[in-house]
Amino acid sequence: MPAEPSRRRRPHRALGLALVTALVAVAAWSHDLAPSAAIADVESDELHVMSFNLRHATAPGPSWRVRRPLVRALIHQEEPHLVGTQEGQPEQLAEIDEDLGRRYGSLRRGKHAQEPQFFFDRRRLRPLETGHYALSDAPDEVGSRGWGGCCARSVFWVRFRDEVTSQQFYAVNTHLEAFSARARRKSAALILERMQAFDSTLPVVLTGDFNEPAGQGRPVHRQLVGSGRFVDTWEQAARRSKLVGTFHKFGRRKREGGRIDWVLTSPGVTTRRAAINTFAVGGRYPSDHFPVQAVIRFPTP
């Protein structure tokens, strides 16, 4: 687990964060600026899942100091039961953990930057088992790189128990290679291979930034969905939001590009709602990716 960051902040940093937080709060009271929830209604036996590439804190562009309260406002507004994040750095993830309060727990394995992580609603989900592996030819070597990729990529999974329905399921979270199609294909194959060790009677939810648009003929989507191993919640949903590219570069590509962030499930899991959340306050976005959300229901045992 990442080291707990110091709670003592420099005065100017704390003042800056307080100012941005105040601006977000003021904007939320404005009918012109306040975004409405992408998913407003969730039944008691449904699970609300979000996949969210956070954009790491030290990346160029809008600073994390500005984006942090927006991430907090977004998650508090949507109230997902499970959030799979990608690209978060240890201190950044610790700050989100702090911002979300006691309602949400967090789970992460690995000591490297930008590891996938889960935040989960403690009132709804209880973690029972976790696992982690690298997306490479040496999956048990944490931090290893695979197949010519630019960065170390990995998978983190958790077996949860839903405290409302008593259903157990696996949640799997990943972030595939951005620049190598071969690495993405090999990664998808490894994910499917590693799933063979799961209890086959339990459903699986796979969240991630797959760095490849979804759709017929796309290699990774074909491997995971076209093979019948997974169902794409966006394609299956009874109701969907407007389709926009999920990698939007802080609003500069809002209507371009493809849906590269997905929530997938095992066949048999149904999806009532799916959304690409274009949350922004005063023209400011929490990340350069839009979070994607799905309201799912597990099959009755």
Nearest alpha-carbon partner for 52 in 247, 282, 298, 249: 247
Query: Which pLDDT score, from 0 to 100, does residue 256 have?
Result: 63
Whole-number pLDDT of residue 78: 98
Confidence (pLDDT) at 47: 98
Neighbours of 196 (CB within 10 A): 7
Residues 80/42, Cβ–Cβ less than 8 Å: no
What is the number of structural domains in the chain?
1
Q: Does residue 72 lie in a domain region?
A: yes
**How much is the pLDDT for 8?**
37
**Assigned domain for 3 exists:** no
The pLDDT of residue 34 is 55
Whole-number pLDDT of residue 109: 74
pLDDT of residue 186: 97
The per-residue pLDDT for 233 is 98
The series of mean pLDDT values per 10 residues for the chain, 301 residues long, is 38 48 45 73 97 96 97 98 96 96 89 84 98 96 88 95 97 96 96 98 98 90 96 97 94 79 98 97 96 96 74
Tell whether 1 is covered by a domain.
no
Total count of residues recorded for the chain: 301
Question: In angstroms, rounded to a whole number, what is the distance separating the alpha carbons of residues 87 and 115?
Answer: 6
5 within some domain: no
Residue 200 lies in a domain: yes
Residue-level pLDDT at 301: 74
Q: Would you state the pLDDT for residue 6? A: 36
Check residue 215 and give its pLDDT: 85
Q: Which residues contact 277 (CB under 8 A, 6 or more apart)?
A: 38, 50, 74, 78, 241, 290, 291, 292, 293
Residue 101 lies in a domain: yes
Query: Phi and psi of 116, rounded to 5°?
Result: -65, 145
- Domain hosting 229: range is 11-297
* Residue 247 located in a structural domain: yes
CB count within 10 Å of CB 239 equals 11
Q: How far apart are CA 84 and CA 72, in angstroms?
A: 15
For 40-73, write each residue's pLDDT tens digit: 899 999 999 999 999 999 999 999 999 999 999 9
CATH code for the domain in which residue 218 is found: 3.60.10.10
At a CB cut-off of 8 Å and minimum separation 6, what does 254 contact? 244, 245, 248, 278
